[in-house]
Chain A
Amino acid sequence: MKPIEIEKVQQALDSYLNKEVYVHLETTNGAYANHLDANAYTVGAYIRNAKVTYKQAKIIGEGNSYRVGLKMELGWIYAEGLTDWTIYQEDQLLLAGHDREGRLMVALEISETPFHQ
């Protein structure tokens, strides 16, 4: 993946407008967070292949960290802390936020075909 280029990502987000798409949304601080630091909490969530349609999309941010909001008929999809992007296998938009050691902290991915289970 490469550092987010805001205009290119905005274009990619717009390319899925009003289409039925599959979304992978995830955040994690690792299964060992509490094991390595008793004061830390092990927290994570993911949803894979949620089938949605959004009618409005924006990427906003400064420096090297970005937020994305997707507006749907009945709600929102939101991710914060995104740093990198790529187009994977031609039609999958992958966005992720990595820490200094390159570990994934958050991911938002959009595709017109389901992600591999």
Chain B
Amino acid sequence: MEKHVVVIYPHPDDEAFGASGSIAQFRRDGVPVTYLCGTLGQMGRNMGNPTFANRESLPEIRKKELKQACETLDMELKMLGYRDKTIEFEDKQEVADHLRSYLEEIKPSLVITHYPGYAVHPDHNSLGAAAIQAVEDMTPEKRPKVWAQAFSNGHEEDLGSPDIVNDVHDTFDKKLQTVLSHDSQVAGMFGWFKQMDEIDEEVKNELIEHQAMERFYTWDFEKNSSN
């Protein structure tokens, strides 16, 4: 069993779509989980549907949604204070040192983050890279395991199949509730989450099957060593 899990993602809602089923399983089993959330998603283009946010009100709205999501999952929240879309332009070592300061205090047994280069959004790729750098900078015997999440098109061609495939059917209600906490963002490509009652049974099952499997790659520090 894990001792403590730290989730490192840049945007409020990354945790919901990416790992909330697994987080709910950890919490059910009594494992503490802390979310280090990089930004407030200030530059998101979803403003609710119909729109209720604007560019200036969005950060506060997303902060509230994030807090609600973390309450739903009963997970501790630390907001890192970066700005949406800008993480890749920060000094990588500074971000890594910032993350390492949390890891050295929390001493997790597992870190969940994005797989650098295979996570589509530049914030995902750069915060994932900084998170892995942070763990790599720790002495090997103190390093937590890292689960890296990849979802760019064709990532399996490069990386092979993920070794961690968590079936989260048993916590799917929590996952759904967490996703729906991010009310301003549950439109566009994830609009179907809101219309669960209206969609065709077969389509619905297919969507659930896809979302009810959370996939990660255990990071191999020896193979991927940057030093």
Residues in chain A within 8 A of chain B (CB atoms): 1, 24, 26, 28, 30-32, 35-36, 38, 46, 84, 86, 88-89, 92, 94, 96, 98, 101-105, 107, 109, 115-117
Contacts and interface: CB of A to CB of B under 8 A. Distances in A.
Nearest to B46: A103
Summarize A's interface: helix, strand, loop or mixed: strand
23 contacts: A1-B54, A26-B55, A30-B45, A31-B85, A31-B121, A32-B120, A32-B189, A35-B153, A86-B54, A88-B57, A96-B55, A98-B51, A101-B49, A101-B187, A102-B47, A102-B48, A102-B49, A102-B51, A102-B187, A103-B47, A103-B187, A104-B47, A109-B55
A105 B46 CA distance: 10
Interface size class of B (residues with CB under 8 A): 20 to 34
A101 B54 contact: no
B11 to A, nearest CB: 10
B153 A104 contact: no
A104 B189 contact: no
A36 B152 CA distance: 10
Contacts of A107: 55
B81 to A, nearest CB: 10
B53 to A, nearest CB: 9
Contacts of A46: 43
A73 to B, nearest CB: 27
Contacts of B153: 35, 38
Given A35-B120, A101-B187, A109-B56, 19 more contacts: A1-B51, A24-B55, A31-B120, A32-B189, A38-B153, A46-B43, A89-B56, A94-B55, A94-B56, A96-B54, A98-B47, A101-B191, A102-B49, A102-B50, A102-B187, A104-B45, A104-B46, A109-B55, A116-B56
Interface in B110-148: 120-122
B56 A105 contact: no
Nearest to B151: A35
Residue among A38, A84, A102, A103 with max Cβ neighbours from chain B (10 Å) = A102
B152 A35 contact: yes
Given A103-B47, A103-B188, A31 B122 contact: yes
B21 interface: no
A105 B47 CA distance: 11
A105 B45 contact: yes
